[in-house]
Amino acid sequence: MIKHKKYSLTQRDKNVLKATIDEFITSNQPVGSKLLKEQYTFKFSPATIRKILSKLESYNLLTHIYTSSGRTPTNQGYRYYVDRFDSELSSHLIQEYKSHFKNLESISSNVELLMESTATLLSKLTKLFGLVMISGYEKSILIDIELVHISSDRVLVILVLESGLIKNIVLNLKCDIKKRDFNKITNLLKDKLLGLTLNDINNTIKGRLKESDIFHHEIVQILIEHPSINETKIEKPAIYTSHIHELLKQPEFQEASVIRKTLEALDSKQFQSCFSSFNDENGITLIGDEHEFDLMDHCSIVSSPFKGEQLMGQLAIVGPTRIPYHKIKNTLNYLAEVISCVC
């Protein structure tokens, strides 16, 4: 739970704070009073700006490395910036995004390719690490099922869902399967299961197949008891990610120790669990240690939800705490609208 602190700031204080954080996000350099006076044409003097900067630092919204250096935002400063300020995407950016998003519509029938491409596009647009999580596919309707003989003792069950997702289940058998039984079981499964949701299949598969003369066949019994079929709990969300090379170009990720820490974090089950728990209808912005995941305390996570006819989920990026939060949030929201229309 993020605790929002209250500050006694005048409008002038807020203007200086926003300008300082905007400038630092752009330049990645400490921001001083002289630069603020020149770049943002404040009507008050540099001495007044210095006084305001000191006030903002006393609230722990800004900090500095040494006495005569400029200021940099703290995580609390970024939190205030995210909560109290806003901006919109420029018409130029919207037009640029539209040209990218047209490509997504052309592959909308292949959900996995769509989600992988979306994660990659997020990374390309933001120069950060992109993620897409889809959930709710346990409500998808089964439209086809096929059994493929992998080896003498292994069978691949392919479930094709109306949403465009394909779910694969490998069954490890104890004996060889006759081709005649193989075809018979395939036809039985199609007859009994097509048109059902994964939830329906999970809850009723045993009863639907029980009266069949091949109910006790090894394939049928192993399939019924398989965790992917037998679990009645909601399916774990599927997560798709971009490559990490865009993120590693950021100046905050140039040290080997930081790179190792970041790679370990993104590959961990704890991070995937953290991301999977995102279900806020307005999306989530977590800054630094707000997500209580020590390996990611040098990063921020911004997410936005989407909900189409067949699928729902979250789009997200991971980056350093020095990111253009409003631009990224607006980009995620815009892309979420596109994905909601095509899936």
Contact at 8 Å (CB) between 133 and 276?
yes
Phi, psi of 169 (to 5 degrees): -130, 125
Closest CA to 192 of 234, 164, 167, 224: 224
**Whole-prediction pTM value?**
0.78
Q: CA-CA distance, 219 to 66, in Å (whole number)?
A: 70
Max alpha carbon distance in the chain (Å)?
Answer: 90
Q: Which pair of structure tokens corresponds to residue 284? A: 């989530």
Q: CA-CA distance, 267 to 265, in Å (whole number)?
A: 5
Contacts 24+ apart (CB under 8 A), 140-145: 140/165, 140/197, 140/198, 140/310, 140/311, 141/195, 141/196, 141/197, 142/193, 142/194, 142/195, 142/196, 142/197, 142/198, 142/201, 143/194, 143/195, 144/190, 144/194, 145/186, 145/189, 145/190, 145/193, 145/194
Q: Which pair of structure tokens corresponds to residue 71? A: 């200021």
The residue type of 252 is E
Q: CA-CA distance, 209 to 16, in Å (whole number)?
A: 69
Q: Which pair of structure tokens corresponds to residue 178? A: 């006759």
pLDDT, tens only, 178-211: 777 788 888 888 998 999 888 888 888 888 888 8
Phi, psi of 72 (to 5 degrees): -130, 155
Closest CA to 49 of 58, 40, 37: 37
H/E segment holding residue 21: helix 11-27
> 3-state class of 37 per DSSP?
helix
* Domains in the chain with CATH codes: 11-84 (1.10.10.10), 91-136+237-342 (3.30.450.40), 139-230 (3.30.390.60)
H/E segment holding residue 221: helix 218-225
Q: CA-CA distance, 211 to 262, in Å (whole number)?
A: 53
Q: CA-CA distance, 239 to 316, in Å (whole number)?
A: 11
> Which pLDDT tens digits describe the chain residue by residue (343 residues)?
455 567 889 999 999 999 999 999 999 999 999 999 999 888 889 999 999 999 999 999 999 887 677 999 999 999 999 999 988 877 888 877 777 777 666 666 678 888 898 999 999 999 999 999 887 667 778 899 988 888 777 888 888 888 777 778 888 887 767 777 788 888 888 998 999 888 888 888 888 888 888 888 888 888 888 776 755 444 567 889 999 999 999 999 999 999 999 999 888 877 877 777 776 677 899 999 887 778 889 999 999 999 877 778 899 999 999 999 999 999 999 899 888 887 7
- Angle at CA 73, nearest 5°, toward 68 and 74? 110
Neighbouring CB atoms inside 10 A of 163's CB total 19
pLDDT, tens only, 125-137: 999 999 998 876 6
Q: Which pair of structure tokens corresponds to residue 323? A: 């990111």
Half-sphere exposure of 334 (CA within 13 A, CB side): 21
Question: In which residue are the tokens 């919204």 written?
Answer: 61
Alpha-carbon distance values, 38 to 42, 151, 246 (Å): 8, 73, 32
Cβ neighbours of residue 340 under 8 Å, at least 6 residues apart? Answer: 306, 307, 308
